[in-house]
Amino acid sequence: MSGGPLVRHLGGFRWEGIPVEAYKPEGEPFRDVSRQRLFGAGGAGELRYFEVGPGGWTTLERHAHVHQVVVVRGRGRALVGDRVLELGRFDLLSVPPRTWHQLRAPPDEPLGFLCLVDRERDRPERPAESDLARLREIPEVGEFVRV
């Protein structure tokens, strides 16, 4: 962070002084996802920018805290609960509490999105085999999920 009121966008969804971080530790189930923390301490919630590379996907998980997402780059698809939704630029996505969710980029372009969360939040839960079995009973969801 610069410490000043302004952080410049450098182009390509990179910002002055904001590191491009690992989305989660290596070994967790995800593919080609990075994280940048745009606004953190001292404000309202935390606003992060996530980018999922072509063919990549976020971790299939659920938690009590809410995700509020604004797509700002490319397009993709999201599982929310038992529905697979198409995402386009500037679409808004809300993930309710305790709802399974996963975001995927298409094979040919990245999916970049802002994600707003409370600063205080619970640890995500990953699906047990029984959860996966239930999700896979819905053919569209079974085709979508990656673990």
> Residues with catalytic annotation?
115
User: In b/e form, how buried is each residue of 82-113, taking b as 16+ CB within 10 angstroms?
Assistant: eebeebeeebebebeeebbbbbbbbeeebbbb
Residue 122 in contact with its own copies, rule: CB under 8 A:
no
Backbone angles phi, psi at 100, to 5 degrees: -60, 135
Nearest CA to 125 out of 76, 31, 60 is that of 60
Examine residue 39 and tell whether it contacts its own copies (CB under 8 A). yes
Which of 71/111 has CB closer to its own copies?
A: 71
Residue 76, SS3 per DSSP? strand
Q: Which member of 118, 122, 137, 140 binds its own copies (CB under 8 A)?
A: 118
> Between residues 29 and 45, which has the closer beta carbon with respect to its own copies?
45
User: What is the footprint of its own copies within residues 85-104 (CB under 8 A)?
Assistant: 85, 87-96
| End-to-end CA, the chain | 34
Which one, 40 or 142, has the nearer CB to its own copies? 40
In a 13 Å sphere around the CA of 35, the CA atoms on its Cβ side amount to 17
Residue 117 interacting with its own copies (CB under 8 A): yes
Instruction: Determine which residue in the list 50, 72, 124, 131 makes contact with its own copies, applying CB under 8 A.
Output: 72
* Rounded CA separation 52/88 (Å): 14
When the beta carbons of 33 and 87 are compared against its own copies, the nearer one is 87
Q: Does 68 bind its own copies (CB under 8 A)?
A: yes
**Tokens coding 58:** 């976020």
Binding interface with its own copies (CB under 8 A):
5-9, 13, 15, 38-39, 42-47, 65-66, 68, 70-72, 78, 80-81, 83, 85, 87-96, 114, 116-119
